[in-house]
Amino acid sequence: MRFLPALVLVAMGAALPALSQQLDGRTLFTRADKGHCIACHQVPTGAGPATRSDLGPALTGARMRELGKPSLKALVHDLSGANPATSMPPYGKHKILDAGEIDRVVDYLHALP
Ligand code: HEC
């Protein structure tokens, strides 16, 4: 039992770096080693980097809120059900983003101006 506090500290030490590495939705949307959504989508001025990407539609807050979070999660997970020929990667199905990361990207989309 004397070892228990030490074990708890070791466990916390192992968990903390993982927590501090949790990326926010905008970062997940932007980073090339994560969603890299900006390769295909533009977002409103100020909400992310300015790009000329137009392979996918420009994403606006009004449209994102019209779609709603459940649909956004589903389409980021895998859009190929709705359009088998889509060029958008199936982020959930191919485990490019995990469920928590998809939730944070969707929160970011839903809050776009
Ligand atoms: C390789 C290009 C590409 C990438 C990368 C990409 N998308 Fe897409 N996305 C598309 C295309 C093309 C569509 C249009 C729907 C279709 O293909 O049927 C689309 C559609 C969407 C839609 C629906 C838009 C609407 O108005 O209906 C959302 C939301 C979306 N993408 C979010 C994302 C997010 C979030 C990421 C990153 C995690 C991402 N996309 C990455 C190509 C891409």
Per-residue confidence (pLDDT) for residue 23, from 0 to 100? 97
Q: Are 46 and 62 in contact (CB under 8 A)?
A: no
Which atom of ligand 1 is the closest one to the Cα of 64? 29
Q: Report CA torsion sign: 99, 64, 66, 94.
A: negative
What is the tens place of the pLDDT at every residue in 12-47? Answer: 555 555 555 799 999 999 999 999 999 999 999 999
Token pair, residue 52, equals 């000329």
Could you tell me the distance, in angstroms and rounded to a whole number, from the CA of residue 41 to the centre of ligand 1? Answer: 7
Q: Which residues line ligand 1 (CB under 6 A)?
A: 29, 35-37, 39-41, 55-57, 59, 63, 72, 75-76, 79, 83, 86-89, 91, 105, 109
Query: What is the distance in A from the centroid of ligand 1 to the CA of 11?
Result: 39
Q: If we measure between CA atoms, which residue out of 45, 107, 37 comes closest to residue 79?
A: 37
Determine if the pTM surpasses 0.85: yes
For the chain, what percent of residues have pLDDT higher than 90? Answer: 81
Cα 89 to chain center, whole Å? 12
* Residue-level length of the chain: 113
- Residue linked to tokens 């589903």: 74
Whether CATH 3.30.360.10 fits 23-110: no
Task: Pick the residue whose CA is nearest to atom 11 on ligand 1.
Answer: 56
Q: What is the pLDDT of residue 21?
A: 76
Which residue matches tokens 């392979």? 55
